Structure 1
Amino acid sequence: MSNVNVSSYVADPAEAALFAGKTVLVTGGGSGLGAALSHMFSACGANVVIGDLNLDKAQTVASLLEAAGGKTHAIGFNVGDPVAAERAVDETIERFGTLDVLLNNAGTDVTCPIDELSHADWDRVIRTNLYGPFLLSKYAAKHMRGSGGHIINISSTAAKRAWPNASAYHASKWGLLGLSHALHAELRPQKIKVTALIAGGMSTPFLLDRFPGIDVSTLQDPANVAQAVKAVLLMPAQTVIPEIMVIPMQETSWP
């Protein structure tokens, strides 16, 4: 599901009241789960900043949100670039005055045995999936300290199990899970919540474009995972969920 229909999201009035005026930064927001998250939070009345390596994709999603009355902004940047990551956080705050939720969703992968895995591909996967969330969390936390905020890191069942020909992806996702729990412990005293969301297979371009023969009946709609993200954010202020797993009923990478 590369394109998400904003009209499919109808916000509950009580939920909309909680998200109205909040600012959410979604990385990898130009497609898949990122687009689903962007549409959902915009429908709930949040200001949504869509970050994506592909600016055109981010702007396409932003245009759909604006057409539905949403307040949004698109930024094209590489999450693994320290200067660009810091600038994206600063630009978000310059545009909307606050950053309440950071969704570290951008991700990439390479499928090949280790003897064929190039240094460049290893670096690309680790830089996007692990270094990027570190950078954005570092810069976002500066603005969230004391006033509160929530960082959600989108991990994968690849952080819990392993299969062949995905060493870079597994390393990045296991690392992201560790980073997320470390930040949960470190930032909680500063009123910043940190959650790792472990997502199972989704019907998104991330899988569909690379594995055209995949059995789509074993995948979940990214909108379902977006709903789980929203549920985490709706928890009372005195409660935090450090880790949550959301998988399809027929998930193939989990028992």
Structure 2
Amino acid sequence: MSTTTQQHPSLHGKAVLVTGAASGLGAALARRLGASGASIVGVDLQAARLADSMAQLREHGVQAHALGADIAEPGAAARVVGHALDLLGRLDILVNNAGTDVTLPIAELPDADWLRVVGTNLTAPFLLSKYAAGAMRRQGGGHIVNIASTAAKRAWPNASAYHASKWGLLGLSHALHAELRPENIRVTAVIAGGMRTPFLLDRFPELDADSLQDPADVAEAIHAVLVLPPTTVVAELTVLPLRETSWP
């Protein structure tokens, strides 16, 4: 009697660009996708922290590169994608994860902060997707993942810029899904519920951290989408903490 060993799907040989990779979900994604065999280019405004995070991946045998950059700066998106292509030779997966917020009432929100939030959370993903899709089109396909939030489907006070950017990112993601799928480029929006990350807990310290989800669990769900058969696409994925009930 012969036996066969079931092979777990992996990302072996895939080239991945992750924004906001220094901490939180971005760092968890870099670890998970690297463990699956992918080569990683991590991008973050926190250059020193990013360098440490990518160095830790290299200690585990992952080909990992750190690129300190503010993706909201003019021209940054084209430079970031070009640098990733120079380092890895191709680009199979783009994860638009970087995000920022300013929690203030609209009457107190400076114009510059509105522009910074929308620039980081919406304009930069558009531009990164534009340039990444060009590379993916030339190589025959790829996958773009846009990290949205339950803030893309509901609203609370004092977060107008954040909500506008995340609702916009969700719409952008579905538009790109419709536009790019004929070119074998899959696009997935991830509606991520509350995670135990500094981004959330530093802004809302009253939250019960025990009721939130580990970003590693969200990274696991995203990995599962990325290794689906190439004839399938998940246009929208919602990943919620089991115990946190503000989003049903």
> TM above 0.5, one fold?
yes
Instruction: Classify the secondary structure of the residue corresponding to 1:106.
Output: coil
Determine the C-alpha separation between the residues in 2 that align with 1:178 and 1:190. 19
Instruction: Classify the secondary structure of the residue corresponding to 1:150.
Output: strand
Instruction: Classify the secondary structure of the residue corresponding to 1:175.
Output: helix
Which of 215, 225, 236 in structure 1 is aligned with 2:208?
Answer: 215
Name the structure 2 match of 1:116: 108
Which of 141, 154, 158 in structure 2 is aligned with 1:148?
Answer: 141
**TM-score normalized with structure 2 length:** 0.94
1:94-109 correspondence to structure 2 within 5 Å: 94-109=86-101
Name the structure 1 match of 2:240: 247
Structure 1 residue 55 displacement after superposition = 1.1
On the 8 A contact 1:161/1:253 being kept in 2, the answer is no
Name the structure 2 match of 1:39: 31
- % identical aligned pairs: 60
Name the structure 1 match of 2:8: 14
Determine the C-alpha separation between the residues in 1 that align with 2:151 and 2:8. 35
Determine the C-alpha separation between the residues in 1 that align with 2:247 and 2:226. 25
Which of 106, 117, 131 in structure 2 is aligned with 1:125?
Answer: 117
RMSD: 1.3
Which of 72, 75, 82 in structure 1 is aligned with 2:67?
Answer: 75
Determine the C-alpha separation between the residues in 1 that align with 2:132 and 2:176. 12
Note the alpha carbon deviations across 1:39-63, whole angstroms, 9 max, x for none.
Answer: 1111111101110011112101111
Instruction: Classify the secondary structure of the residue corresponding to 1:14.
Output: coil
Instruction: Classify the secondary structure of the residue corresponding to 1:194.
Output: strand
On the 8 A contact 2:11/2:227 being kept in 1, the answer is no
**TM-score normalized with structure 1 length:** 0.92
Letter in 2 for 1:172: S
Structure 1 residue 13 displacement after superposition = 5.7
Note the alpha carbon deviations across 1:140-159, whole angstroms, 9 max, x for none.
Answer: 00000151100000000000
Determine the C-alpha separation between the residues in 1 that align with 2:110 and 2:102. 10
1:139-218 correspondence to structure 2 within 5 Å: 139-145=131-137, 147-218=140-211
Determine the C-alpha separation between the residues in 2 that align with 1:81 and 1:114. 24
Letter in 1 for 2:29: L
Structure 1 residue 64 displacement after superposition = 0.2
Name the structure 2 match of 1:55: 47
Q: Which runs of 5+ in 2 are unaligned?
A: 1-5
Determine the C-alpha separation between the residues in 1 that align with 2:164 and 2:32. 30
Determine the C-alpha separation between the residues in 1 that align with 2:67 and 2:246. 33
Which of 24, 28, 32 in structure 1 is aligned with 2:16?
Answer: 24
Letter in 1 for 2:28: A
Q: Which runs of 5+ in 1 are unaligned?
A: 1-11
Moved more, 80-89 or 55-64: 80-89
- Detail structure 1 runs of 4+ shifted over 4 Å in the superposition: none
Moved more, 192-201 or 143-152: 143-152
Determine the C-alpha separation between the residues in 2 that align with 1:129 and 1:253. 23
Matched, 1:134 2:153: no
Determine the C-alpha separation between the residues in 2 that align with 1:253 and 1:138. 34
Determine the C-alpha separation between the residues in 1 that align with 2:208 and 2:8. 37
Letter in 1 for 2:217: N
Determine the C-alpha separation between the residues in 2 that align with 1:242 and 1:118. 34
Determine the C-alpha separation between the residues in 2 that align with 1:252 and 1:169. 21
Determine the C-alpha separation between the residues in 2 that align with 1:125 and 1:218. 27
Aligned residues: 242
On the 8 A contact 2:192/2:239 being kept in 1, the answer is yes
Determine the C-alpha separation between the residues in 2 that align with 1:162 and 1:30. 27
